Each structure stands twice: as C-alpha cells, then as structure tokens.
Amino acid sequence: MTKFKQLGFYIDQANCTGCKACQTACNDKHDLPVGVKWRRVAEYAGGSTEQDDADGTFRANVFSYYTSISCNHCEDPICVEVCPSQAMKKGENGIVSIDPEVCIGCRYCEMACPYSAPQFNAAQGVMTKCDFCADFLAQDRAPACVAACPSRVLDYGEVDDLRKKYGSENGIEPLPDPDITHPNLVITPHKDAQASGHGTGAIANPREI
C-alpha cells in the first residue's frame, strides 16, 4: 500500500451540487446508525431579495454553497489534546482515530472539535469518527466518500501534493478559523464563498449536519 506522511481531503466547492452522495456512501461503508454522521454537508446561505423602485420588480441577491466535511485529521487536533483517555490518537498516515476499547464516551472531543468530526454512538457508548477508510487505503482504494462523488469534487492524498495541485485555501465559512486546529484540508472556493470569521450568511441545514 502507498504510505503517506499526512493525508488530507480536498473539496471543490465551486462544483459541489450538495447531493450528499459522499455522506450516504460513508454511512453505508461504515454501517453507521441513524444520527451518526462521519461526513456532513453544510449548506451555507445568505443574501436578500430587493425590490427595484423604478419598475417594482424583485431581484434576488442571494447565495448558497455546500461544504462537505468529515474529519480533517488536523495538524493540531484539539480532540487528541483534550481527550482524557488517550483513546483519540494521531497515527499512521497522519490519520486521527479513536480506539473504541479505550474511549470512555465522555464526549469532550465532541464539545471541542469545530468540525463536528467526533460523533457519539449511543449504542456502543463510545465516540466514533472518520478513519479515512483505512481498510480501503490498505488496498490502494479511494475512501468511500471520494469514490462515490458523482461530480468528482472530492479528492484525497498527501496533503502537500493536494496543496501543490489545488492551492492552500481552508478558511471558508461556515468552517472555523483554520488556525484553531490547522486542518489538512484544501478547498477550491465557491464564487460566493466567504472567508471564515467574515460570513454574512448562516448554515441553512443545521439539523442535517
């Protein structure tokens, strides 16, 4: 299998249609129970409709774009830092994963992670999260989400290579300031994308993510 120094994900926001095939493929691959979402697609929307005084017509000045996020296997993973049991670890290929035999299910990582990556599985009593489809990687296969994307807007690989290929943007609303955890994530921004901390919109599907 290919070895990586640090794996990362790439999203092309400009061409993402928000179909959520990535999320569905992830749920299916990992057999996740309802409510446990290792990959989530946020819809960020804003703007307003204005009336033209001259002719009384309405003009929509609105925007909306999608951001598909699982875990960014961050450079400074706050989940690893705060985890009291050392169940959360940064390991092989730079993947951040949880040892389900050690986790006590205190949910402190869930409180801390600004991407909602750690997800509580109530039936198992432990936290669970994206493991970058480590079993697929071992067979040199792409992670389920990347493979499933019909618009081919997701990519993965050595994060340095992704940055060379696509640039280094990773601070787009509704994502947090990347300085908090230094995510291994590369984004091609949507034309209406707003920088983290300077957003004028809001997450339109809060209960979905």
**Interacting residues with another protein between 48 and 67 (CB under 8 A):** 67
Which residues have CB under 8 Å from 53's CB, separation 6+? Answer: none
Contact region with another protein (CB under 8 A), list: 1-9, 10-18, 111-119, 186-194: 111-119
Check residue 115 for interaction with another protein (CB under 8 A): yes
**Interacting residues with another protein between 162 and 191 (CB under 8 A):** 174-177, 180
What whole-number distance in Å separates Cα of residue 3 and Cα of residue 142? 13
Burial class (CB in 10 A: 0-12, 13-18, 19+), 64: middle
What whole-number distance in Å separates Cα of residue 153 and Cα of residue 83? 33
User: What is the nearest approach in angstroms of another protein to the Cβ of residue 199?
Assistant: 7
User: What is the nearest approach in angstroms of another protein to the Cβ of residue 18?
Assistant: 14
Among 50, 81, 135, 160, interactor with another protein by CB under 8 A: 81
Which residues have CB under 8 Å from 74's CB, separation 6+? Answer: 96, 181, 182, 183, 184
Give the residues across from 11 on adjacent strands.
154, 187
Check residue 93 for interaction with another protein (CB under 8 A): no
Interface with another protein: number of residues (CB under 8 A): 43
Nearest to 106, CA basis, from 123, 131, 81, 125: 125
Check residue 76 for interaction with another protein (CB under 8 A): no
Residue with smaller CB distance to another protein, 64 or 161:
64
Q: And the tokens for 30?
A: 């990992």
Rounded alpha-carbon distances, angstroms, from residue 183 to 21, 96, 141: 23, 11, 23
Residue with smaller CB distance to another protein, 111 or 138:
111
Residue with smaller CB distance to another protein, 79 or 153:
79
Footprint of another protein (CB under 8 A): 40, 42, 67, 69, 78, 80-87, 102-108, 111-116, 120-122, 124-127, 174-177, 180, 197, 199, 202-203, 209
